[in-house]
Structure 1
Amino acid sequence: MSRTTTPSEAAPAAPRAGRARVLPDHVRRQNRALVLTTLFHEGSMSRADLARRTGLTRVTMSALVGDLVAEGIVVEQGARETTGPGKPGVAVDIDRTGLQAIAIDLSAAHELRGAVIDVSESVIERTAIARPSGIDGAEIRELTERMVDDLLARATGRILGIGVASPGIVSGEGVVIASPNLGWADLPLQELIADRTGTPVSVSNDADVAALAERTLGGAGEDFMLIKLDRGVGGGVMVRGELVRGSRFAAGEVGHVTVGTDGGRVCACGRIGCLETWASVRFLDSRIAAGEDRDVVLREAGERLSIAIAPVVGALDLPELILSGPTEYVGGLLRESAEQTLRERTYLHDDVSVRMSQLGDDAVLLGAMALILSTELGIA
């Protein structure tokens, strides 16, 4: 997906031809991220084309690409075809098949999911472990570690890192502060997996990484809210292309917002009437299995969802709402009800778009991979 890029801070001109000035570390990091982001979204190009596209000098570009080739992150692909005079440039690109990430999704209603995914977004290996009812937090952690070990052994390329998507509130250091659905509290998951594997690890909220996937891989705009329906209900908010995390890392956590004053079911958190009791997959499953009218259940879920998020959409002036989850639930009546209620409950938002994610069932796994692209390579 092509995206306009601009140099965050272009390198200063070389003091004389053929000699690059030593740049401060933060400028090198910014320029490096700019080059990799440009290649990721726009594909292979020559060093000269990269310099023109990013606004960096040719000397700076030559040094940056040389370093990236030496590190095995960028590969040369041979001379580009050209119709103009002069020697054709050598095309370079990210090593899209040789660089891989381990992606873990702990948010699904009935299983834990994992995959090895390369930079081209191809799933190389895939695994899933059924989540038995009544399983406790210690057992889920053990299953997660076993899955990581298995996928590391099955990887076919260089592993950039391990991205883990967890439901609940996750700190910037990868501590799962609270996840009622997993039975975790103050669990330093990122540190535990990193110590166990010796591999870079990033742990983040599942809805946040799904939003990151939409922005990085799915072509979403700079401003939107993603709502993820699965075992729980979570939200990721993107403003001006940046995730909004909040002072307590709980931005977008709408699953435990009480919707309405008419009571409801008891939630996993112990409260009554949380959004999760109206719109999560497990509650939708249980209501439909109990014989309630499916259409009524889905319409109510969409309505309660928009009751919870309308203030967010209105306050942040968001033009788009993306729904991620099982197609049989998030499409059709639920989406239509959510859109109608959202437009009724917000001012100047009668044209707000409510659509399904185009990334399918792998949205969170792809988001976990995008998380590693961001943390390890600076790709946005």
Structure 2
Amino acid sequence: MEQSPFEAGRPLRRNRKVLPEQARAHNRSLVLQTLFHNGGMSRADLARATRLTRVSISDLVAELMEDGYVVETGERTAPRPGKPAMVVDLAHDAHRIVGIDLSGADAFTGAVLTLSGEIVARESVPQPSTPEARIDAVVSLAERLVALSQTPVLGVGVGTPGVVDDAGVVLAAPNFAWSGVDLDGILSEALHLPVIVANDANAAVLAEYTFGGARDDVLLVKVGRGVGSGLLAGGQPLVGARHTAGEIGHVTVGTDGGPACSCGKSGCLEAWLSVPALTERLAGVDESQRESVLRDAGERLGIALAPVVGALDLSEVVLAGPTELLEGVVAEQTRATLRARTLPVFHDDIRVRMTGQGPDIVLRGAAVMVLNAQLGVS
């Protein structure tokens, strides 16, 4: 059996019943999801894996082949009695996904990805200094990426700092001076393609869960130009009634004042831990002072996370950002602070680790958003 590049990935849990009128769309998604996570399979194996009848599978595969999402890749080579079975798989190269990450400290980045998450082209642009120019830069970057695709684009996924509602409107992004920016609408009008816009940390946690083997109850902290987090509880995304779940960057940490933050307050976590803030504090210090600065940052992060870990009974915290800043001292001090500030015994085994997805985590999360919205795959 041919394996998907992300064979260890997992789908997000479904928490709603499937109505009869939704059954066919659900079954299409089930077939695509199974192939996405398991690679090429015979129709008989696909029927067993999905628990659908062989007749249903045959019908669905034919429909998906006609739509260009599934292809036959040849007869199975493994020796079995009888006529060799024909293997079907996702048509990984028949469509492309455009992913855009706006969370970098000084640049916007984007990529063209296959349906299996492989990046085939990249582009980046320096981040402009004005709100309007930033919007123009995002549109220009998206247009260039779509033009780079050699095949039809399934959709465009964007991970952006700030509070984003279900319609893809950036309600507030202090670092960009954006308020009520309909980024989804702006890009949809410019590109004439499906667009999904979400908070960058919420996109990143989807990539970590689907591709990185994160646990069902996980908090991912995304550190870049700002600081935010994405949450999964019981394998389900948690965004909150006001779309601000995970907005830890503007939580005040400590009672000792602290540096001024872009939101107008002082002592916010972001003012201590964001890449620009932490890099500035580390400039020109010796090794012992460097460790002190990093431990302080890790402690501030642990202070911000302890109530969340305790309230939601989370088992894992994943850090995403520059490894040279976050790996080691910051991660260790964050874990030590969490253990000191949560219920003993129950949270002593809290896991704090770096993501294995590297700097492409938001781009891959953007791809998951498009796959889920367009094909029901996650």
TM-score (norm 2): 0.93
Structure 1 counterpart of 2:154, one-letter code: L
- Report what 2:356 is aligned to: 358
- The CA distance in 2 between the partners of 1:365 and 1:4, in whole Å, is 18
- Report what 2:199 is aligned to: 205
Structure 1 stretch displaced more, 224-233 or 24-33 = 24-33
Instruction: Give the alignment partner of residue 374 of structure 2, picking from 369, 372, 376.
Output: 376
What SS does the aligned partner of 1:173 have? Answer: coil
- The CA distance in 1 between the partners of 2:207 and 2:10, in whole Å, is 18
Structure 1's unaligned 5+ residue stretches are: 13-22
- Report what 2:76 is aligned to: 80
1:47 aligns with 2:39: no
Structure 2's unaligned 5+ residue stretches are: 1-6
Q: Is the 8 A contact 2:157 2:196 kept in 1?
A: yes
- The CA distance in 2 between the partners of 1:220 and 1:327, in whole Å, is 18
- Report what 1:312 is aligned to: 308
- The CA distance in 2 between the partners of 1:4 and 1:309, in whole Å, is 26
- The CA distance in 2 between the partners of 1:303 and 1:93, in whole Å, is 47
- Report what 1:330 is aligned to: 326
Tell me the CA shift for residue 262 of structure 1. 0.8
- The CA distance in 1 between the partners of 2:11 and 2:57, in whole Å, is 15
Q: Percent of aligned pairs with the same residue?
A: 46
1:129 aligns with 2:129: no
Tell me the CA shift for residue 88 of structure 1. 2.1
Structure 2 counterpart of 1:45, one-letter code: M
Tell me the CA shift for residue 204 of structure 1. 0.3
Q: Deviations over 1:205-242 (max 9, x none)?
A: 00000000011111222221100111100000011211
Tell me the CA shift for residue 243 of structure 1. 0.8
What SS does the aligned partner of 2:231 have? Answer: strand
User: Across the two proteins, how many residue pairs are aligned to each other?
Assistant: 366
- The CA distance in 2 between the partners of 1:340 and 1:281, in whole Å, is 22
- Report what 1:162 is aligned to: 156
1:182-193 mapped onto 2 (5 Å cutoff): 182-193=176-187
1:1-380 mapped onto 2 (5 Å cutoff): 1-2=7-8, 24-132=20-128, 135-289=129-283, 291=285, 293-347=289-343, 348-380=346-378
- The CA distance in 1 between the partners of 2:116 and 2:354, in whole Å, is 23
- The CA distance in 2 between the partners of 1:5 and 1:130, in whole Å, is 34
- The CA distance in 2 between the partners of 1:4 and 1:47, in whole Å, is 21
What SS does the aligned partner of 1:363 have? Answer: helix
Structure 2 counterpart of 1:179, one-letter code: A
Q: Is the 8 A contact 1:113 1:127 kept in 2?
A: yes
- Report what 1:16 is aligned to: none
- The CA distance in 1 between the partners of 2:256 and 2:120, in whole Å, is 48
- Report what 2:4 is aligned to: none
Tell me the CA shift for residue 5 of structure 1. 7.5
Which structure carries more relative contact order (alpha carbon 8 Å, separation 6+)? 2
- The CA distance in 2 between the partners of 1:63 and 1:91, in whole Å, is 15
Tell me the CA shift for residue 97 of structure 1. 2.4
Q: Is the 8 A contact 2:13 2:236 kept in 1?
A: no
What SS does the aligned partner of 2:125 have? Answer: strand
Q: Is the 8 A contact 1:109 1:282 kept in 2?
A: yes
Taking a change above 3 Å as real, the CA distance of residues 242 and 7 of structure 1, as seen in their structure-2 partners, is closer
Tell me the CA shift for residue 378 of structure 1. 0.8
Structure 1 counterpart of 2:70, one-letter code: V
